[in-house]
Amino acid sequence: MPKMRFVLASYGTRGDIEPSVVVARELMRRGHDVRMAVPPDLVEFAESAGVPAVAYGLNTQTWLDLYRNLWTSFFRAIWRVREVRRLWREMWEVSDEIWVDMGRTLTSLADGADVLFTGQSYQEPAANVAEYYGIPFVTLHHVPARANGQLVTILPAPLGRLSMQIFDWVAWALNKRVEDAQRRELGLPKARRHPTRRIADRGSLEIQAYDAVCFPGLAAEWAKWGNQRPFVGALTMEQSTDVDDEVTSWIAHGTPPIFFGFGSMPVESPGDAIQMIAAACAELGERALIGAGWSDFREVPHFDHVKVVGAVSYAKVFPACRAVVHHGGSGTTAAGLRAGVPTLILSMDVNQTVWGAQVKRLKVGTTRRFSTTTRESLVADLRKILAPDYVARARELGSRMSTPAESVVAAADVMESFAQSRRLS
């Protein structure tokens, strides 16, 4: 395979960035020239993985704080219309600022590239840059982001597909002003169709970074797209941490625990959360292992049956647990499903409800909003997913999931093949 230049742009939290970093490292290992664009506060993370990176958009925390505040206000105090409108306006002002910065950064970085690749968030400014240079475009999806009848599980398939198509048009309308400005700056004609349609019609490669078995029927529905939407499985670095041995030793000296973790979604009151978890597990006779993530669990009560740790290797820890409870991030969900243990998703924003609904549909777990969770509901939910039928289904599904090694090879293979075919066309 001849050496090629790949530019990968990814925006979001570490869980959003990590799949792109995994692909970048594999492409570099194969001898290609790779450059990345990531949020300023994740440049160090990308470079620590050996991938050259530049800053892209605003710090993740800036965006995450606005996003969380908006949805918290929406669900808890929707009657405070003025407050919700203010947060909505502020969020979109920041979003426009991110879009402009991304467009200009990529216009410089992608000059001379053979392929431009982007993660799931902010695909539109990257797509415009790819169109400007006339280079092949690749997107990475951690959930089925294109219209289909399998994602919106509360609706019949045709209505679910229609709802996603409507969402695409609404999202375009919200972003149209800033996109029109970017296209004018690039000298591109005014767009007449929404971006997801344009991306597909250009013949872009839309990599599905999850397993087809997680969405039964989706592969058959998308068969008409041929090789344009390949399923490669979840992409993760599987990094070891300094506390892995300590944690595995703690697990081995007692009954298998239930893992609780909320990743980059900060828990509003860690003290209340640990009290609730400890009480629920005590009632069930279970031990709890809590991954602190971005939450500060230092000043919280101590319980003999509860252990609080920082980052751990999910690949090492999850298979030794009875169940996993988390916020519903795609990477954490995939790690739990691969481990073959039941899942309880306590979602903190709208996007995380996607995986919550899916584990419930697959009957390998259940879900509810974290904000509505109580000790009583937690006990009931854990009893449900620890039942033998849930445990058996989770184990069976885990046996059909791809491994991280298989996923990264598959992703790099399809990217190389796509780039080469476009070179020859």
- Tell me the percentage of the chain whose pLDDT exceeds 70: 88
DSSP secondary-structure letter at 231?
B
Q: Which of 167, 155, 165, 158 is nearest to 221 (CA)?
A: 158
Q: What is the pLDDT of residue 6?
A: 97
The answer to whether 11 and 57 have CB atoms below 8 angstroms apart is yes
Strands 258-261 and 115-118: unpaired
Q: What is the pLDDT of residues 239-293, one digit of tens each?
A: 777 777 888 999 999 999 999 987 655 566 777 888 899 999 999 999 999 987 6
What gap in Å lies between CA 217 and CA 212, rounded to an integer? 8
Strands 205-208 and 323-326: unpaired
Q: What is the pLDDT of residue 294?
A: 55
What gap in Å lies between CA 345 and CA 324, rounded to an integer? 8
Residues 6+ apart with CB under 8 A from 148: 160, 161, 164, 218, 221, 222
The answer to whether 369 and 347 have CB atoms below 8 angstroms apart is yes
Q: What is the pLDDT of residue 58?
A: 84
- CA neighbours closer than 13 Å in the CB half-sphere of residue 170: 6
Q: What is the pLDDT of residue 398?
A: 97
Q: Which residue has the tokens 């951690």?
A: 142
The answer to whether 150 and 218 have CB atoms below 8 angstroms apart is yes
DSSP secondary-structure letter at 401?
S
What gap in Å lies between CA 413 and CA 419, rounded to an integer? 10
Q: What is the pLDDT of residue 263?
A: 66
Distance of CA 403 to the CA centre of its chain: 17
User: Which residues partner with 366 through β-bridges?
Assistant: 344
Q: Which of 189, 206, 197, 194 is nearest to 136 (CA)?
A: 206
Residues 6+ apart with CB under 8 A from 421: none
pLDDT average per 10 residues of sequence, the chain (425 residues): 92 89 96 96 93 90 63 53 63 80 94 95 94 96 93 88 91 90 95 92 95 95 92 88 83 94 67 88 95 63 84 89 93 95 88 89 95 93 98 98 96 94 70
User: Which residues partner with 234 through β-bridges?
Assistant: none
